[in-house]
Amino acid sequence: MSLVLSRPLISLDLETTGTHNKIDRVVQIGLVKCYPDGTNKEWSTLVNPGIHIPNEATAIHGFDDLCVKDAPHFKDVVSILYNGLSDCDITGYNVDFDLRFLKAEFSRLGMQPPRWGRVVCSYKLFRKMEPHNLAAAVRFYTGTELQGAHDAEVDAGAALGVLYAQLEHYPHLPKTIDELADYLEQPTGDTVDAQGKLAWRNNEVVINFGDKWAGVPLRSVDRSYLEWIARSEFSTHVKSVVNDALNGKYLRRDK
């Protein structure tokens, strides 16, 4: 069934130099504008971010400094975006990420972002339609319906059944509890730790939270700030990496 549009709908996606909108920048913009009359228009551009594109970002989207050397800067396309996005509804997959970056880019130019209409995130819709509760997991992994949900004994048994079914469904998963626990604690993407407090940037570890030290390599972070991390409620992994840095040992990753 087609969407009924009362105003244009824009599907938006950005590629960036990283995941922290305070320190990272946009390197590509792509959008499809759908009009109420059924016509669509597509527009995309590379963007020179004005900063080095880290190796970790290049590994994801393929763009390096040479690719964007002659591309327009964000200020060169800001009027196109402002006019194009104003009074339109917005969609995208995890589009909140993209909108945060757009707002940050407008803010750096001393501008207010365009006033768009409603935002419909297809990722949120996916999560809403395919809930990650125990009953859904039982249905997906075992092909049965959970009977007597929210009885503690029933739920405990069902959760164990899901775990066994997951091990069958994903044969590459480790088969011991220690290995499974380690697997779940592994970081994803360019993060160093599972919580994403530290990240890889140009093959060295940087702070990945807050404002003042975000994006700064551990070797350049004020010692008192590292000491605060080491004694605060961060994960054991984060504290281990930070304590090594305090002792002059910096984690590096092969290029």
pLDDT in tens, 169-204: 999 999 999 999 888 888 877 899 988 999 999 889
Q: Residue for token digits 């909140």? A: 96
pTM given for the model: 0.81
Mean pLDDT of 210-236: 94
For residue range 133-164, what is the model confidence (pLDDT) as tens digits? 999 999 999 999 999 888 899 999 999 999 99
Phi–psi pair at 134, nearest 5 degrees: -65, -40
Task: Give the residue extent of every domain in the chain.
Answer: 9-125, 134-184, 198-246
Q: Residue for token digits 């959970």? A: 146
For residue range 34-61, what is the model confidence (pLDDT) as tens digits? 999 999 999 999 999 999 999 999 999 9
Please say if the pLDDT value at position 253 is more than 90.
no
For residue range 8-22, what is the model confidence (pLDDT) as tens digits? 999 999 999 998 898
Which pLDDT band, with edges at 50, 70 and 90, does 254 fall under? Answer: low
For the structural domain made of 9-125, what CATH number should be given? 3.30.420.10
Mean pLDDT of 3-10: 94
pLDDT of 199 reads 92
How does the average pLDDT of the chain come out, rounded?
93
Residue of higher predicted confidence among 132 and 98: 98
pLDDT of 1 reads 45
